[in-house]
Amino acid sequence: MDTESLLKEFYKRYGETGGKPGIFFSPGRVNLIGEHTDYNGGYVFPCALSYGTYLAARITGTKSVKFASVNFDFTAEIPLDKLTKKVGNEWVNYPLGVVDEFSKIGVEITGGIDLLFSGNIPDGSGLSSSASIETVTGFFINKVFGNSQLNLIELAKLCQRAENNFVGVNCGIMDQFAVSVGKVNHAIFLNCDTLDYELVPLKLEELK
């Protein structure tokens, strides 16, 4: 879904009153070398993809946050004082986990928001759709409510904590790091223990 189609879907769900939403994007990732070594503190060599997750987000005058996705039927409207509570096993726990981790460092959602997510990462592909959802949420909160206080590495670590602590998945840092720090036409040689990394030029051209 392109951004124009995303905006049309956003207005269809939430209406045009309130103005145009901000658009944010976070890619998926593929790991070229180093499977199952990230959570052991080893070396990995991932790169970000053109596939990923878009987020349309608009501040409202309400006291709740509305979650919707083009990819999932489940929607939720959650009061501001309930944003750190898990919702069953639903997809909204990935962005909610990010909200929870921001609250722990003093960054609070202080007003209502309409959110619409749209991803084109194939289901079950192993291309880190969950990290992409977390990170695009993090980009939005960090900019709008956090005054951009976190750098990309700090944001990746926060999103990893969200998946570990809130969602309950004991993942390593690679996925969130790759989708946060990834750069066009580059792979990332990453030490998952120290988080030292090098951006390595890499052109995959039309590889699929």
Please give the Cα distance from 193 to 190 (Å, whole number): 9
φ/ψ region of 177 (left if φ > 0, alpha if ψ in -120 to 50, else beta) reads alpha
Please give the Cα distance from 186 to 169 (Å, whole number): 28
187 beta partners? 200
Active site residues: 175
Please give the Cα distance from 29 to 76 (Å, whole number): 27
